[in-house]
Chain A
């Protein structure tokens, strides 16, 4: 636990930097507010074009990317402890190698499934 104390100190410095930026901007920056400066940027179009429902499916593909990322991230995370002990375990024989090959087979099956139904053609 002791090794993580400097990281806490670094976090404090980072927070000080961010607070400094925030305070300096508000102190130094001038305050001239007009109406059009306060509305969000709409490219000069009064009523934004795509207010209709058409946006919904477009955004669903991002949900798909996030779900597939979550599941493959979990699988990626399992490689880390395995890699740590793999080299020593070679002295005791190849069971860790076989374990990982079986694990990778299922990952590859998952990848093939995702690509075959092109769930990821996010355009």
Chain B
């Protein structure tokens, strides 16, 4: 294993950072619960992109295995998250996250 001083910062680093930043921004700002879930998916994809890029440039394919597992977990998260949102919609009649404030006493 020889340390390689590869040109570190590449386009996809910026893309991944922007994706994560946008996902986080949407997660904090948006009022619609479904769009919040979509922004979480965006964040997961930013992680995937960095994993693919680093594993391809360094030659270790383990990163790709992690990407496959992350895709599965993201599918799981979307399925259960949307199930919860549907139940909240049935209980509250709206998907706006301001309405789900039961625990605030």
Number of interface residues of B (CB under 8 A): 9
With a cutoff of 8 Å between Cβ atoms, the chain B residues found around residue A74 in the complex are 71-72, 75
Q: Is B83 close to A, CB under 8 A?
A: yes
Interface of A is mostly: helix
From A63, which residue of chain B is reached at the shortest CB distance?
Answer: B86
Q: How many A residues have CB within 8 A of the partner chain?
A: 6
A16 within 8 Å of B (CB atoms): no
- Are B72's CB and A70's CB within 8 A? no
B86 touches A71 (CB 8 A): no
How far apart are B11's CB and chain A's nearest CB, in angstroms? Answer: 15
A63–B72 CA distance with the chains assembled, in angstroms = 19
* Contact residues, B46-105 vs A (CB, 8 A): 71-72, 75-76, 78-79, 82-83, 86
Interface residues of B (CB under 8 A from A): 71-72, 75-76, 78-79, 82-83, 86
